[in-house]
A = this chain, B = another copy of it.
Amino acid sequence: MKRPARQLYYDDLHEHLGYVLRRAQLAGFEAFRQATHGVDISPARYTAMVIVHANPGLTQSALGAALGTARSGAMTMVDWLEDRGLAERRNRPEDARSWGLFLTPRGETQLRDLKRRVRANDARFAGRLAPSELATLRKLLDKLSG
């Protein structure tokens, strides 16, 4: 038989907004993981697919800036997407230094499926709150991030 774990104290950690945000964000990652179970994807890569889809032809640098990573990080990201046939680099006539990024038909299809799943699970995750609470939360978080 297992001894009951000793009671742990957290001092005033729950007063720290950063700590509370971090915990909520980890719960969000976990919800995403469940929503995308069985698909080889991550929050960052999902974000990348959404952004490429919404901005067809954008450059790697622009993608990196949108994701908040260095150019080399965007490079790795696009390699990953291209290796799986989800996105492709095309020549840009107006600037031979850079590529234009596009989702492939397969990438579009997968993104549609992922969006459906993520939306449904987001609703389930957010379902811990009443609709009015959720609207308030989104507003307050945006205000905090701005």
Tally of A interface residues using CB under 8 Å: 56
Q: Min CB distance, A22 to chain B, in Å?
A: 6
Residues of chain B with a CB closer than 8 A to A118's CB: 16, 18
How many copies of this protein are present in the complex?
A: 2
- Asked whether, in the complex, the Cβ of A17 is within 8 Å of the Cβ of B28, the reply is yes
> Chain A at the B interface: mostly helix, strand, loop or mixed?
helix
Binds B, one of A74-82, A84-92, A121-129: A121-129
Specify the chain B residue showing the minimal Cβ separation from A44.
B22
Which of A14, A18, A146 has the largest number of chain B CB atoms within 10 A? Answer: A18
Within 8 A of B (CB), among A117-145: 118-119, 122, 125-126, 128-129, 133-134, 136-138, 140-145
Give chain A's interface residues, CB within 8 Å of chain B: 5-6, 8-11, 13-29, 31-32, 43, 47, 50-51, 53-55, 58, 62, 65-66, 68, 118-119, 122, 125-126, 128-129, 133-134, 136-138, 140-146
